[in-house]
Structure 1
Amino acid sequence: MSLEDGPLFFVGIDWAATAHAVCVLERTGRKVAAFTIEHTAAGFARLAARLDKLGDTELTAVAIERPDGRLVDALLEAGHPVMPVKPNAIKTWREAEVLSGAKSDPGDAHVIADYLRVRIHRLRPAVPYSGSTKAVRAVTRTRGDLVDARVAAVNQLAALLDAHWPGAKVIFASLSSAIALAFLTKYPTAASAASLTEKRLAAFCAKQGYSGKKPAAVLLARLRSAPAGTTDPDLSEGARVAVLAQVGVITALNTAIKDLDRAIAEKIDAHPDGEIFRSFPRAGTVNAAQILAEWGDAREAFGHPDAIAALAGITPVTKASGKQRGVSFRWACNKRLRQAITTFADNSRHASPWA
């Protein structure tokens, strides 16, 4: 018997950080087993051993509210069909099936297993990605997280300068640039820049290799035209420490992002599909790697181009009832893939003469 004939057992796993509740149902809905495993190597081994006793792993389907992770990897490596299910879908199913509103981890595992048993024909099994694709995903996702962290750190630095030294915020175009960070390292407070002259500023810019087109006179005018900075000695000292701390955070993030950029270039060059994705008009290296990482190399998982478009959240959702009909934004999607695809769309229009 194959999976197409229907699994013999349906496993629901309620995922948690330290322990996972497991429920096993047979085709009729009768509960075969219910137990809890720890999120450890021993716990994973115990789960594998319990599921192996049920027979052919290909006929023991598993549903879990996660599309990836080490537990999902272990189940896929063991040969189980793994069906990622959406938490909102399980929540709605539980509310319809558990009228009392009772909720527990073992109860949720049972709900997930029953959802899988009833709706398996509508669910798509997870397809394991290759090691090279996982490597690209690891570095691109980490880079995305660090870019978000840098945006937050720059906003915090901007708020700090607004409160204590507004001029330092506007002298250069970007607070995360090397020249702006070097300036704040040398002049973290208004008091430290009190004796700054046009000649000294020009010398500083030359030493830093400033490539901006604004002469020192313009930059100094920006600095002096902003509201005056804090002059209280005690407050200035506190602001100095705070500014240097934020500068250190942003500098470290800049270095880490550059290191990841190099790693991304190496990973996509080594990927079998790297050349295909890098051929996208103006996708570049990082954006091409982001698309590849989220799209993956298991193309058989998408039966039609509309499927990948829906996954990326770039197709609208139509809601019609009676005489009313509306088209709305698609919220349920892979958010990272949507960002990658929309970034590519924006970049590619610059390579099109009619866009």
Structure 2
Amino acid sequence: MQRRILAAAAAGLLLPRGLRAQALGGGRTMRIIVPYSPGGATDALSRFLAPRLSRLLDLNVVVENRAGGNSIVGTEAALRAAPDGLTLAMIDLAFVVNPAMYASLPYDAQRDAAPVGLVASAAQVLLLHPSVPARNLGELVALAKARPGQLSFGSAGAGTAVRIAGEQFRMAAGIEILHVPYRGGGEAQAAIASGDVSMIFSGEAQAKVMAESGRVRPVAITGPRRGRRMPEVPSFAEAGFPEVDVVTINGLIAPARTPPAVVQQINAAMLQALREPELEQRLLELGFEIVASTPEEFAGWTAQQLPKWEALVRSAGIRPE
């Protein structure tokens, strides 16, 4: 997804200092809840954004990891907090996938959340453990068909982009591979490094570091084009699987009933932080594409994504682990 910084946000959403002080500020503490264990892309993005929000909002912004339940535990904790703007969650694709997988969630993705803004997106690289005797995607598909159910892929949870990418690959290639869920991206990366799973999908920056260390072998990246960090890795579309196109996308949400002026204030600070050249460059190095949306655009994205992923969950038969 291409970077979109809106001129209206830059010009109109930064509130005067006096009004900002009435809403947020004063050195109080804001929590950004990451619904995964430390070490994954969502955690890294949150930790890069937090100190900039601290400065722009005059708050002590801390990142709190609350893993469990395919991101449900941390997301619920954020949405049940006081609607004062001092508790946010950094959600990912699981936010719009989980409603299709669970008959009953402790929150409603639209009714109980106040969207603050989409932050960034990232394509996913398929990584193999070196013990897997496949050098490219074609060889991997042939191997999986020869050994149905014997290869496995790890993920950060049932509703995450890395899980959805695995299911897209499984369905597109017509193969049987075993899914092994973990509590976060960091745990899944440790599992592939140790050989506990045959393959994982990972963000481009983490994938590059692991590939350069010799711990994994990259074979393809989701979407229609090659990544900036690993241009030697072909896209799934190049390899004949254009259906494997999922990207992870992260955004900030607040509890419903958070005052609109507070939501706009946080969104304005988020947009200003994402315009900073240092942060922009760092995120690009990590394989992110900056999105930087308004709250209204985030709400529209959520409404579009819910039925899309409900269809995939049903066709793939994805169930919570």
Greater gyration radius: 1
**Higher helix proportion (structure 1 or 2):** 1
**TM (normalized to structure 1)?**
0.24
Give the structure with the larger strand fraction. 2
Higher relative contact order (CA 8 A, sep 6+): 2
